[in-house]
Structure formats: structure tokens, C-alpha cells
Amino acid sequence: MHTVPAPRILGLLLFLALGNASPASGQSGTAAAIPVIQFEDVPLRVAIENLARQGEINFIIDPKVSDSAPNLTVRWENLTAEQALRRVLATNGLHLVRSSISTVSRIGVTNRLAGQVNADWVRADTNVVPLLRFQDVELDFALKQLVQSAKLELEIDSAVTRPAFSPGKPPTTPTFISVRWEGLTGRQAIAALCENYELALHVDPVTNRVRIGPLPDSSAPRGN
């Protein structure tokens, strides 16, 4: 979990206090322009998370995004939260990629999704969950919880559920996730995790058995 030291909170409070501004002229859709967006020495990841949530974007951050990036100090006027988010990402070499299958946007170092999912299997689920939230939980635990709550028959490869070991190298640490998503189905949430953590979701065309495992050309997902 990321904490913001007291001197940095002012920028966040200023931003959040102005989050309900009315739409500016010329803005498309319902996105509202914020009179002033200001961050003062705020960690990059904290700024990204606040802007994405203010913009009502279901998102997940690529674990390769560094926590050691320089803190952010900016002041912008009359931008929507998404416009400000895209500015922050562009200036830090990051991309916002929205999945057409899970509908979750991936924030990462490349402009592509990392995993593979079966689109037909995902879209067959129409049972929308109002709120899904995981805070600093292991990836395999989150997957198992989603599978259980959606009452799915789905096999998770053991390479996903236990650390990987390579001769001469330290063991891979578990991957922890923190996400907050609104209006997704359980299958969309599973797909979003696969798309971000180099996992493949396969459906056997003969038995219809569903399995999640590492991509064929990758090892088990790496820790944060």
C-alpha cells in the first residue's frame, strides 16, 4: 500500500476537492473539466491512481511500472481527469491500453496487453458485480476468489499458484495486487488479471474445460 507523507497531501486534497466541477464547453460526453489539478511532490503511482479513479476508469497497473520514478509536481487548468492522466503517462513513458474484452485499462510500459484470453468465454457472462476490490492480496488468491464467487469450473495451473525456482537464481516472490473495479463481470475481472500478468486463459473446444496458466513463452508471473 502506498502512503503519502503529510507535506504531500495538500496537492491531493486540492485535486479531489475540485473533482466535481461542471463540464467545460467543447468537452465531449460527460467528462468534466477540473478548474485546477495540482500535485506537489506526489509519488507517480499515487497521482496515476487518483487521476484514473477520478476519471472513473477501471484500471490495473503493470507490475513493471517502477515505484522509484521521480515524484510529480504539476499544475494544470481546465483538463478532464483522463486528459491529465494521459499527460502524466506520456511524460513518464507509460501507456493507457483499454481491453476490448475485459474493458479494464492497463497502465504499463508498453502499448499492448500482456496476456491472452478467450473472448467468447468472457463475454458469455452477463452477471455484473457492482464493486470488486482487492487490496495487497496475492494474485493466485484473487483468481481463486473470483473463480469461487462466479461459481466457475476453472483450473489454475500450479505455476501460477506457487513461486517459480530457477537454478542459481533467487526464488520468484508472490505477486501482490491492489485493484478496485466497478461494473465488471467475474469473467471480465479474471480476464483483466490474465491480460496484465502474462497469463493465458484457454478453453478446450472439446471438453469446454477452462484453464489459466503462464503464456507458452514465459515463466510464472513475476512479483512486483
What is the average per-residue pLDDT within 145-172?
76
pLDDT tens column, 4-35: 343 343 344 344 434 444 333 333 446 789 99
Q: How far is CA 218 from CA 76, 77, 159, 197, in A?
A: 41, 44, 11, 11
Give the span between the Cα atoms of 211 and 194, in whole angstroms.
11
- The pLDDT of residue 27 is 38
Q: What residues contact residue 216 under an 8 Å CB cut-off, 6+ apart? A: 200
pLDDT tens column, 33-59: 999 999 999 999 999 999 999 999 999
Give the span between the Cα atoms of 39 and 196, in whole angstroms.
27
Per-residue confidence at 173, pLDDT binned at 50, 70, 90? confident
Residue 220 has pLDDT above 70, yes or no: no
- The pLDDT of residue 49 is 94
- The pLDDT of residue 166 is 57
pLDDT tens column, 75-104: 999 999 999 999 999 999 999 999 999 999
- The pLDDT of residue 129 is 94
Q: pTM score, two decimals?
A: 0.79
Domain borders along the chain are 6-108, 119-214
Q: What is the CATH number of domain 6-108?
A: 3.55.50.30
Is the CATH number of domain 119-214 3.10.110.10? Answer: no
Q: What share of the chain in percent tops pLDDT 90?
A: 58
Whether 6-108 shares its CATH topology with 119-214 is answered: yes
Give the span between the Cα atoms of 26 and 56, in whole angstroms.
20
